[in-house]
């Protein structure tokens, strides 16, 4: 099945070039629905109408609303990447991945484009020659950094366009030692610029270099007996040394790096940037991504890096990302000096793991605050999501197994794990009713279908992940059952026992998790528990059937008496081992009935007791 292109789009399709460009889908009113980039415009645009998009409900809805198309041809993929990001910012299309909130975060701006630069706060990032630091998601941290700059450095706070527009005399800041009055010529432009260079180094995280310079100047001033100037440097040095230690969150190998952490749970995702400068972790920025239903993790990460990180004014020499993403090489070409790396092991990989831990923490915090979840997800749950590429975090897992005894007494089990822990109130067991003989596929189809229909009828939510004990056949049977029950967008996998292979829908090759992986242990625990629950139920059914068949042969033992015996003694052997008096104590039973039941079951009659001997005739009185 494919979609039919609307007339306005169909007329343009034959004339579209096979060159890089950007396309804008619009609705009937001319509102931009989606902005996308393409290496070959014609092929990319045609693909929207050549597929049924079964895997993406969002894309299906987009195609239904498309009425017209605009395209912009650009020289290269890099130009397309940049133009796409700019157009998304301008139009804010409803079908593009976006930040969860629309608020802008503040930057510290150093106006290097002025002869006498100022240091101020702004929420607008403009390419005007100034240097921007941030954005600061922690406004309190930004204010503290700004206050330190004002305390340590004598940066002017006035708004004059020096040197052309200047006051007649120095302001109060000069008289209290906060400014050296470059406005009236008390400080030269070269001296002021040298101080601004140190401000930039300080804001860039290179406080150690600033300390070294200030210490050298203090020493030089004392050597020429300029003790007043040496005292100023001493005070500045004291403030710098006091603030140097608290900024060091963790010490890593030297260098400047931006480390990306990523966490996702369904339609919510969090991206974290850990800013490392001079081997010290100085800051953490985060963004929550919205409108990501149906998008891959690679697409979400690419949208963040292209739309926000690339536009940030302050970047490190290295960008460490947790996994590869689409258009990485193209993005690399637009980042100038920054090199994009995907570490697999060693200290860099540990940094990425640290950033991912922070992303998970923030995402859980966000969802807890919105009352969307009751507790934080454990690390194995996040690892399971990452290893299997799941779009939703598998907080709840339902695992199914089938147990049979040579084609008889076939049963199914469902165990429920919440946050990698058993939740026994949600355990369910099933007697397979429609399958004759041994047919694991048909049995699994029946059990999963009944489970899904009951959950829907009771208006209970489906689990985040369904795990099937078996291989590709059992997995496909479960998928068919869910489709028949009307369950859509359900995450399903299967786990085969022999090689511990994980099978996913739509993938011919299995996934093999590391043997010591907590994610694999979580799956194994669920699978083993489902197997135990199914086998226990199967044995109970076989035992009940055996007892029932034996007791049915005994005259005078009907359904009520049979149930009483099973409830009291639990098994056929229990009835055989019971004392006749214990059986006779049950409602509706007598001692004679008890002996008759045991005799029918092959239990030898007990030897007569003195109480059972006939009474001797009384002797006449004499």
pLDDT digits (tens, 9 = 90+) for 410-460: 899 999 999 888 999 999 999 998 888 888 999 999 999 999 999 999 989
Nearest Cα residue to 41 out of 68, 16, 59: 16
In the chain, CATH 3.30.420.340 covers 384-540
The per-residue pLDDT for 622 is: 43
**Secondary structure, 3-state, 475-530:** HHHHHHHHHHHCCCCCCEEEEECCCCEEECCCCCCCECCCCCCHHHHHHHHHHHHH
Q: In whole angstroms, what is the distance from residue 562 CA to residue 576 CA?
A: 14
The per-residue pLDDT for 54 is: 61
Buried b (16+ CB within 10 A) or exposed e, 66-86: bbbbebbebeebbbbbbbbbe
* CATH number, domain 7-96: 3.40.1440.10
Q: Specify the 3-state DSSP secondary structure of 96.
A: coil
In the chain, CATH 3.40.1440.10 covers 7-96
Does domain 552-600 fall into CATH 1.10.150.20? Answer: yes
In the chain, CATH 1.10.150.20 covers 552-600
Nearest Cα residue to 404 out of 440, 367, 457, 363: 440
Q: Specify the 3-state DSSP secondary structure of 277.
A: strand
Domain 257-369 top-level CATH class: alpha beta
Q: Name residues whose C-beta falls within 8 Å of residue 1's C-beta, 6 or more positions apart in sequence.
A: 52
The per-residue pLDDT for 526 is: 94
pTM: 0.63
The per-residue pLDDT for 122 is: 85
Nearest Cα residue to 348 out of 234, 255, 425: 255
The per-residue pLDDT for 547 is: 62
The per-residue pLDDT for 259 is: 93
Q: In whole angstroms, what is the distance from residue 184 CA to residue 26 CA?
A: 58
Q: In whole angstroms, what is the distance from residue 5 CA to residue 33 CA?
A: 16
Residue 333: alpha-carbon gap to chain centroid? 29
In the chain, CATH 3.30.420.10 covers 257-369
Domain 384-540 fold is Nucleotidyltransferase; domain 5 (3.30.420)
Q: How far apart are the first and last CA of the chain?
A: 114
Provide the angle, in degrees to the nearest 10, between the axes of the packed helices 139-152 and 227-244: 160
Q: In whole angstroms, what is the distance from residue 147 CA to residue 145 CA?
A: 6
Tens of pLDDT, residues 119-150: 888 877 777 788 887 767 667 767 877 777 77
Q: What is the mean pLDDT of each run of 10 residues along the chain (622 residues)?
A: 80 89 92 92 89 73 91 88 85 82 70 89 79 73 76 83 86 85 89 88 75 82 83 75 49 74 88 83 79 85 86 81 88 86 89 89 80 74 88 92 84 92 92 87 94 93 94 93 91 89 89 88 93 89 67 72 79 80 87 83 68 49 46
* C-alpha distances in Å from residue 446, one per residue of 313, 504, 578, 585: 58, 20, 40, 43
Q: Classify the C-alpha dihedral 114-120-123-125 as positive or negative.
A: positive
């Amino acid at each position: 099945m494919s979609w039919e292109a609307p007339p306005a789009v169909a007329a343009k399709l034959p004339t579209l070039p096979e060159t890089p460009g950007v396309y804008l889908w619009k609705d009937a009113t001319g509102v931009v629905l989606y902005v996308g980039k393409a290496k070959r415009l014609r092929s990319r645009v045609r693909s929207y109408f050549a597929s049924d998009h079964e895997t993406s409900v969002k894309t299906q809805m987009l195609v239904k609303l498309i009425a017209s198309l605009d395209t912009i041809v650009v020289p290269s993929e890099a130009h397309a990447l940049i133009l796409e990001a700019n157009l998304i910012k301008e139009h804010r299309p409803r079908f593009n991945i976006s930040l969860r909130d629309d608020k802008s975060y503040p930057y510290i701006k150093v106006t290097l484009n002025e002869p006498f630069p100022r240091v101020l706060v702004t929420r607008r990032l403009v390419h005007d020659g100034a240097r921007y630091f941030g954005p600061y998601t922690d406004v309190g941290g930004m204010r503290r950094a700004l206050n330190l700059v004002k305390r340590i450095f004598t940066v002017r706070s006035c708004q004059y366009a020096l040197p052309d527009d200047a006051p007649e005399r120095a302001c109060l800041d000069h008289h209290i030692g906060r400014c050296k009055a470059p406005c009236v010529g008390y400080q030269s432009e070269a001296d002021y610029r040298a101080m601004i260079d140190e401000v930039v180094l300080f804001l860039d995280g290179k406080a150690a270099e600033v300390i070294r310079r200030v210490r050298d100047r203090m020493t030089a001033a004392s050597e020429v007996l300029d003790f007043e100037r040496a005292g100023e440097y001493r005070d500045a040095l004291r403030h710098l040394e006091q603030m140097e230690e608290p900024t060091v969150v963790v010490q890593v190998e030297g260098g400047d790096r931006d480390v990306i952490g990523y966490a996702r749970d369904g339609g919510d995702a969090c991206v974290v940037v850990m800013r490392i400068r001079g081997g010290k972790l100085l800051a953490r920025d985060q963004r929550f991504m919205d409108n990501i239903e149906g998008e891959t993790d690679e697409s979400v990460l690419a949208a963040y890096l292209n739309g926000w990180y690339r536009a940030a004014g302050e970047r490190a020499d290295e960008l460490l990302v947790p996994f590869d993403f689409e258009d990485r090489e193209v993005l690399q070409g637009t980042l100038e000096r920054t090199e994009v790396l995907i570490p697999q092991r060693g200290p860099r990989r540990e940094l990425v793991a640290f950033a991912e831990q922070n992303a998970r923490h923030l995402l859980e915090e966000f969802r807890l605050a919105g009352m969307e979840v009751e507790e934080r997800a454990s690390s194995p749950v996040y690892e399971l999501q990452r290893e299997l590429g799941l779009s939703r975090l598998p907080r709840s897992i339902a695992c199914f197994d089938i147990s049979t005894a040579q084609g008889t007494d076939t049963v199914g089990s469902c165990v429920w794990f919440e946050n990698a822990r058993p939740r026994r109130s949600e355990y369910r067991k099933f007697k397979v009713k429609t399958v004759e003989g041994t047919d694991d596929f048909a049995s699994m189809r029946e059990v999963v279908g009944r489970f899904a229909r009951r959950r829907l009828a009771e208006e209970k939510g489906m689990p985040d992940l369904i795990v099937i004990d078996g291989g590709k056949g059992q997995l496909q049977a479960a998928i068919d059952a869910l489709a028949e029950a009307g369950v859509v967008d359900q995450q399903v996998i299967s786990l085969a026992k022999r090689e511990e292979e994980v099978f996913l829908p739509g993938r011919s090759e299995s996934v093999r998790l590391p043997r010591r992986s907590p994610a694999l242990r979580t799956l194994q625990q669920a699978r083993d528990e489902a197997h135990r629950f199914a086998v226990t139920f199967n044995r109970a059914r076989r035992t009940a059937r055996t007892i029932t068949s034996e007791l049915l042969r005994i005259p005078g033992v009907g359904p009520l008496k049979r149930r009483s015996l099973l409830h009291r003694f639990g098994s056929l052997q229990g009835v055989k081992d019971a004392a006749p008096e214990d059986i006779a104590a049950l409602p509706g039973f007598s001692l004679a009935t008890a002996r008759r039941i045991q005799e029918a079951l092959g239990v030898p009659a007990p030897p007569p007791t003195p109480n059972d001997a006939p009474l001797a005739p009384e002797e006449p009185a004499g």
